[in-house]
Structure 1
Amino acid sequence: MTTKLSLATLDTVERTAGVPAYGRGSLKAGIVHFGVGNFHRAHQAVYLDDLFNLGRDHDWAIIGAGVLPSDAAMRDKLAGQDFLTTVVEQDNNRSGARVTGAMIGYLAPGNAAATIAQLCDPAIRIVSLTITEGGYFINPASGLFDPAHPAIAADAANPDDPKTVFGLILAGLRARRDKAIAPYTVMSCDNIPGNGEVTHAAVSGLARLSDPDLADWIDANVAFPNGMVDRITPATGPREIGIVADEYGIDDAWPVFCEEFRQWVLEDRFPEGRPALETVGVQFVPDVAPYEHMKIRILNGGHAAIAYPAALLDIHFVHEAMEDPDIRAFLAKLEREEIIPVIPPVPDTDLDDYFALIERRFSNPKIADTIPRLAQDGSNRQPKFILPSTADRLARGEDVVGLALVSALWCHYLAGTTDSGRPIAFNDPNIERIRAAASAATTNPGAFLELKDIFGTVATSNRFARRFTHALNSLQQKGTRATLKAYLDDRLVN
């Protein structure tokens, strides 16, 4: 028998899971968060729940905000359980469930007026985002904000009826400026190098298209701290919902599963104040960049590296990929020989030890993170997680055999079938264009490198083109397994 999750049933839920030590009535909103997905509920919301459980800072509760039509389903599920979430933390040796209550409301997508009104409330002092790497309207090749994107152009033409996250944030800032209310801090929690700077560029860049004076005001008055976030959080499906019901007796419409490890490194730039997150483990540092480079290139780059060989070999779970000796050795050789050597030093951190931690985290069977999740959205993830390491090595005159193989594996994956002939299901906003290039690459490998908005200057390197072509030819002629073995034996050269 299960208990439907709600504020009224917490006394029953407490028999099998941790529950908030604070009452909902004690909380007041201080944060509006765009992008209420699994990662946010396993990360930022958990840190705030920890803080509230200490009896601290109850005026920093979260109001969720939807933008996309798909956000309505999440809002409905959470509203049906009083915005509570069951978070199941799973380590190799233990599992445990807790219910978090840091969110107290959720603005429906499609109602710009209500969202802007909430953003104009002086009590809201932070606006945070987890909108994925592809949500920032960045030109992949230049790494800069793209003011010509149709969605941005539409918001610039209709600033009073915005449709994008940045249009809504901008409208809220405009309203606060006009009413002489101090601006909120805008805090990105996405895996993008310099995520605060990227967010600043998007908000200010959009403003400059229609109201240059507002853009100048934003540049002078609004804080956009950089931050690094980390916690492996797989997607929720029937399996996860069933485990929560069977093992904990909780009927949760959309629980979150995650690893036990978590990390959050932030610049301390919050002019209107912030919750005391340092008391629950958040690191506040003068410069986040070293931590970002380490995490994005070693962890996210590692995920991107193993995703495509695992997919091509019909491996479904990440821990199963790490059990494959060729994939595990491929990851280790790539990281130690090509990725880690071009990462700047990180304070009080040994990069080899950090990679050893990543190997253990990837190998955790209880997380049940999936290869299809890692393989999705390659057109946004490759330029952020893999190609920067490639570009750095080329700029130093160093070889890129392994990194070129990663790009070739992605191209070969886009051909559409695994090595055993199974069809591949894709999830990428640019899938038609990149698949066309991958198809052309079956006879002309250079056709894939013509995706200049993705490969940028890397595509102009003769060394990279030669390594990529050789790796792709090997994948097409010999298959994934043989190509991995050739790389491991230092035979994937031409």
Structure 2
Amino acid sequence: METLNYQVLEKSGYKGYVLKDAPEKVLQFGEGNFLRAFVDYWFDVSNEKVGWNGKCCLVQPIAPGLAKLINAQEGLYTLYLRGRQNGEKVDAKRVISSVSRCLNPYEKEDYDAMMQVAVSDDLEYIVSNTTEAGIVYDPACQANDCPPSSFPAKLTQVLLARYNAKKPGVVVLSCELIDNNGKELLKCVNQYIDQWGLDDGFKKWVNEDCTFCSTLVDRIVPGRIRDAAEVARLEEENGYHDELIDVGEIFGVWNIEGPAWLEDKLPFKAAGLNCPVVPDVTPYKKRKVRILNGAHTGFVLGAYLAGFDIVRDCMHDDVIRGFMNKMLLEEVVPILPLDQEDCKQFAAAVEDRFNNPFVNHELMSISLNSTSKWRARNMPSLLEYVEKNGTLPTCLSMGLAAYIAFYSNDIQGLTDKGLVCKRPAGNEYTVSDDRWVLEFYNAHKDDDIPTLVHAVMTNEQMWGQDLTAVPGFEQRTVENLTKIRTEGAKAAYASCL
């Protein structure tokens, strides 16, 4: 079977949107599954919906990468967006044609080509996702390295070439999963400007003419399809071989922190895409952490004790699903400092995302490091709820008891791999967390319920404070843990409804 390219795609009879030629308006550092299922998808839809007429030139951030595969397929690849939307199963296929080529800057010819894109009149945006470790200042990088090892140093070279060519500034969209990603990237660039002794005019141009945006990305991207039989079936249907098949969930939102004019400059709003430009992404990160991530941590530990293994199966159970939705809609959403209807829609989408028929998300994988997760994701919601309402939230309070139950259920002992416990059904499971957390629970394995609860809630290393200071919380947790131990976690969740 022939490998995908424009000629092969035409022969296959593909009827979807394709744009073969367009100017390179985006220089994108990163060519992995996420950016291709997210950013390049946004630009591809913008080409179709509003005639944006642009291409993305990709750059490998590190030496081993996908450049040869991408170029062999002329930038084309098949993207499947799979999941549930408004309760309906979705399996949407799209051939992405927004990518022009991919450069490997560790080869001299491609390094020079990257610099040619840098000074192009067509260039408007620089996008990056070089992993959380990518935005780092490495003083070993020098101005004459071809290329320097760090991404911010490469970016400094690109921007310097553009400045020296007397071209206008660009918009930089950072997608790395760190706080204030755009601000941190600009900070690194300024460090290289100072280290390399570059002129003040360039520094002024970078900081005033260029727009560095922090962004918050949200789409689960499993990436490659692992099942060889399914790949073979899809390629038979498509009529071509594709080395770059990509898979993401149907849900996607890209919050971009930037000036008001940027929303009209970017093609996404006009294309009907979920990509708002906002003055500050911090509240949207709080929304994601409190609702999406907080939902996971809030229900999965008790659900596992109740006999569930996969997130999707939990969404098919009235009690577990009802517990999660009550926690989100009655206890978490009302205290968030954002538009309430927007938060409700985000929360409603969580159920669809968790009920994805194409993803087997194991509860035990979500359970990793639940102590720090509960502190970051759920505890702030609980404390703010108490402050606002003067009462304890029913489901969030039960969530702490479920956390304690998961970490202390019939402890068998501590091994190199973690704390071995037993499920009520009888099978063993291993709790994974910081070693001091596991040692704490192992040391308290013979405590009665009130003693254990008191020890956990007064452990300020875990929570940064003494949770027994919250009125009624200790007694409520004793009652909830007793209910979980005596009646089972599902019955305990049901009592909250």
Tell me whether the two structures share a fold, i.e. TM-score over 0.5.
Answer: yes
Counterpart in 2 of 1:245? 235
Residue 14 of structure 2 corresponds to residue 11 of structure 1: no
Q: Partner amino acid for 1:117?
A: M
Deviations 1:137-163 (A, max 9, x none): 6xxxxxxxxxxxxxx45x123243433
- CA distance in 2 between counterparts of 1:49 and 1:449 reads 53
**Match for residue 157 of structure 1?**
140
Cα distance in 1, alignment partners of residues 381 and 428 from structure 2: 32
Cα deviations across residues 344-374 of structure 1 (Å, max 9, x unaligned)?
A: 1327x25334322321332131455565776
Question: Does the C-alpha gap of structure 1 residues 391 and 135 become closer, same or farther in structure 2, counting only changes over 3 Å?
Answer: farther
Q: Structure 1 residue 61: deviation in Å? A: 1.0
Question: Displacement of 1:275 after TM fit?
Answer: 4.8
- How far is 1:227 from its partner? 4.0
Seen in structure 2, the aligned counterparts of structure 1 residues 271 and 334 have a Cα distance that, compared at 3 Å, is closer
Cα separation, 2, equivalents of 1:367 and 1:321: 13
Partner of 1:121: 119
Quick check: 1:258–1:367 contact (8 Å CA) kept in 2? Answer: no
Matching residue of 2:221: 233
Residue identity matched to 1:277: F
Gaps of 5+ in 1: 138-151, 427-433
2:172 to 172, 186, 192: 186
Larger relative contact order (CA 8 Å, sep ≥ 6): 1
**Aligned twin of 2:464:** 459
Match status 1:299 vs 2:299: no
The amino acid that maps onto 2:48 is: N
* Residues 157 and 210 in structure 1, CA contact (< 8 A), matched pair in contact too: no
Q: Secondary structure at the match of 1:225?
A: strand
Aligned pair in 2 of structure 1 residues 80, 306: CA closer, same or farther (>3 Å)? farther
Question: Among 309, 321, 327, which residue is 1:328 paired with?
Answer: 321
Partner residue, 1:63: 57
Deviates more, 1:172-181 or 1:311-320: 311-320
- Which deviations, in whole Å up to 9, do the C-alpha atoms of 1:295-332 show, x marking residues without a partner? 44322433454566667788664322323455434422
Once the two structures are TM-superposed, the CA of residue 185 in structure 1 deviates from its matched residue by 1.5
Runs (5+) with no aligned partner, structure 2: 410-416, 445-454
Counterparts of 1:37-48 in structure 2, within 5 Å, are 37-48=32-43
Go from structure 1 to structure 2 and tell me whether the alpha carbon gap of 1:96 and 1:217 turns closer, same or farther (over 3 Å shift): closer
CA contact (8 A) 1:38 1:235 kept: yes
Report the more deviating stretch, 321-330 or 93-102: 321-330
Structure 2 SS opposite 1:441: helix
Provide the rounded CA distance (Å) in 1 between the counterparts of 2:62 and 2:494: 44
Aligned to 1:49: 44
Q: Is the 8 A contact 1:319 1:363 kept in 2?
A: yes
Q: Which amino acid aligns with 2:33?
A: N
Residue 136 of structure 1 contacts residue 198 of structure 1 at CA under 8 Å; is this kept in 2? no
For 1:287, the equivalent position in structure 2 comes to: 279
Matches within 5 A, 1:321-470: 321-325=314-318, 327-346=320-339, 349-366=341-358, 389=381, 401=397, 404=400, 415=418, 419=423, 420-421=427-428, 435-443=434-442, 458-463=463-468
CA 1:182–1:304 in 2, change beyond 3 Å: closer, same or farther? farther
Residue 217 (structure 1) shift: 5.4
- The equivalences for 1:134-213 within 5 A come to 134-135=132-133, 152=136, 155-160=138-143, 161=145, 162-189=148-175, 195-201=181-187, 203-204=189-190
Structure 1 residues 463 and 188, CA gap change in structure 2 (3 angstroms): farther
* 1:30–1:375 CA distance, 2 compared to 1 (3 A): farther
CA contact 1:126–1:186 (8 Å) conserved in 2: yes
Query: Percent identity at matched positions?
Result: 20
> Scaled by the length of structure 1, what TM-score is found?
0.71
Alpha-carbon separation, structure 1, partners of 2:379 and 2:191: 25
Structure 1 residue 187: Cα displacement? 0.6
Instruction: Tell me the TM-score normalized by structure 2.
Output: 0.70
Q: Tell me the amino acid that sits aligned with residue 120 of structure 1.
A: A
Over residues 117-152 of structure 1, what are the superposed CA-to-partner deviations in whole Å (9 max), with x where a residue is unaligned? 2563334321112345x4476xxxxxxxxxxxxxx4
Letter in 1 for 2:104: A
1:79 matched to which residue of 2? 71
RMSD: 4.9
Question: How far apart in 1 are the matches of 2:401 and 2:107?
Answer: 46
Alignment equivalent of 1:221, drawn from 193, 209, 213: 209
- Distance in 1 (CA, whole Å) between partners of 2:192 and 2:332 is 35
In structure 2, relative to structure 1, the CA distance for the partners of 1:27 and 1:408 (3 Å cut) is: farther
CA distance in 2, matches of 1:218, 1:383: 38
Query: Shift in Å at residue 281 of structure 1?
Result: 1.3
* Partner AA of 2:74 in structure 1: D
2:17 counterpart residue number: 20
Q: Give, in whole Å, the separation in 2 of the partners of 1:195 and 1:386.
A: 24
